[in-house]
Amino acid sequence: MHITMMSSMRIKLTLDPDVEQLLRREMRRTSKSMKAVVNKALRIGLGMRSKSLRVPPFKVEPHAFGFKPETEPDGLNQRVDEMEADEFIRKQAR
């Protein structure tokens, strides 16, 4: 078995202010060093580039709710509101 050691690379990097704020927040949250947080973020971000970002198509499957023919499905919210108002009035009359 042959194992190759990777060497570290030291670079100077200028961050945008919003990125710096996110980096510092993550360092506080995880109690990890800047090096550890940056390396993890780069691994995640660069690793995502190699993965397909295709999202499966959204599929709507119809469902028969079994409403009676005289029931207007578009009016159900109005009916619920009426029932809540009736219940409120009934409680107030006690």
Question: CB–CB of 30/37 below 8 Å?
Answer: yes
CA distance 80 to 73: 12
What is the average pLDDT across 1-21?
A: 80
Q: What angle do CA 67, 72, 78 make, to 5 degrees?
A: 115
Tell me the per-residue pLDDT of 26-77, one tens digit each, with 9 for 90 and over: 999 999 999 999 999 998 888 876 666 677 888 999 888 777 777 777 788 8
